[in-house]
C-alpha cells in the first residue's frame, strides 16, 4: 500500500509540481486520505492521495479482491482567488473515501454528491467524474493490478446534476462545451439547459 502511494505521489508531483499545502483526513473505518494543494499561476489544483491504496470493489461481489480492481485518485481545478476553495479539502477527502465507505466504484461519467456546498457559498454540491489521462497520466502498476487513474472532477450546479441524471454525462459535457462554460470558475452559474 505504501509503495503504491509513493508512486502515486511521485506521479502527481511530476505532473503538478511541489504542493503548497497538504491536509490529511481519516474517517472511521477507512484509510487515511490526504489532499494536496498545487498552485499554477491563476489555477489551484487539489488532488487526493490515498484513495488508490486499495482497489475499488464491485459492491455486488461477495468478497473484495485485495489486488485486482480499478484504482483512482481525484483532481479538482479551480481559478484562484475568486472563492474560499481551500475549504473543500475535507469534502474532497469525503468523495475520495466513498469507495471504502459506500462500496462503490468511482468511474468516468459518474456523479458524486455531497449534499452540501463543496466550499462555503459554492453553487455546487456535486461533481461529474471526467475521463483520466489529461492533466495527470494514468500510473501503470505491476500485473495483475490495474493502473491508477487520476480522475478530474467537474463541479455541477443542482440543475446541471438533475439534467445529467436525465440526459447523461456526455450530453452535459457537450452542453458545457457548446456554451464555452469555464468549468474552473468557482462562481459560475448553471449552463443554459433546455
Cβ neighbourhood burial of 7 (10 Å; 0-12, 13-18, 19+) = middle
**One digit per residue, pLDDT tens: the chain, 194 residues?**
679 999 999 999 999 999 999 988 887 777 889 999 999 889 999 999 999 998 998 766 767 777 888 999 999 999 998 888 888 888 999 999 988 888 889 999 999 999 999 999 999 999 999 999 889 999 999 989 999 999 999 999 999 999 999 999 999 999 999 999 999 999 999 998 87
Segments in 74-168 forming alpha helices (H): 89-102, 158-167
Cα distance between residue 124 and residue 118, in whole Å: 6
> Is pTM beyond 0.85 here?
yes
Q: Is 84 left (phi over 0), alpha (psi -120 to 50) or beta?
A: beta
CB 124 within 8 A of CB 191: no
Q: Which three cell numbers stand for residue 3?
A: 509503495
| Distance of alpha carbon 48 from the chain centroid | 7
Amino acid at each position: 500500500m505504501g509503495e503504491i502511494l509513493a508512486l502515486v505521489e511521485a506521479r502527481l508531483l511530476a505532473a503538478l509540481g511541489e504542493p503548497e499545502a497538504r491536509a490529511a483526513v481519516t474517517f472511521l473505518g477507512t484509510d487515511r486520505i490526504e489532499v494536496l494543494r498545487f498552485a499554477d499561476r491563476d489555477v489551484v489544483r487539489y488532488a487526493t492521495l490515498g484513495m488508490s491504496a486499495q482497489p475499488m470493489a464491485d459492491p455486488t461481489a461477495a468478497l473484495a479482491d485485495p489486488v485486482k480492481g480499478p484504482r483512482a485518485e481525484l483532481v479538482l481545478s479551480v481559478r484562484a482567488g475568486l472563492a474560499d476553495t481551500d475549504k473543500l479539502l475535507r469534502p474532497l477527502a469525503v468523495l475520495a473515501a466513498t469507495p471504502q465507505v459506500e462500496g462503490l466504484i468511482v468511474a468516468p461519467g459518474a456523479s458524486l454528491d455531497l449534499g452540501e456546498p463543496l466550499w462555503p457559498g459554492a453553487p455546487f454540491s456535486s461533481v461529474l467524474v471526467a475521463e483520466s489521462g489529461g492533466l495527470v497520466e494514468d500510473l501503470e502498476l505491476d500485473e495483475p493490478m490495474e493502473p491508477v487513474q487520476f480522475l478530474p472532477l467537474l463541479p455541477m450546479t443542482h440543475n446541471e446534476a438533475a439534467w445529467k441524471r436525465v440526459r447523461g454525462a456526455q450530453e452535459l459535457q457537450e452542453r458545457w462545451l457548446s456554451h464555452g462554460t469555464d468549468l474552473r470558475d468557482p462562481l459560475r452559474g448553471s449552463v443554459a439547459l433546455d
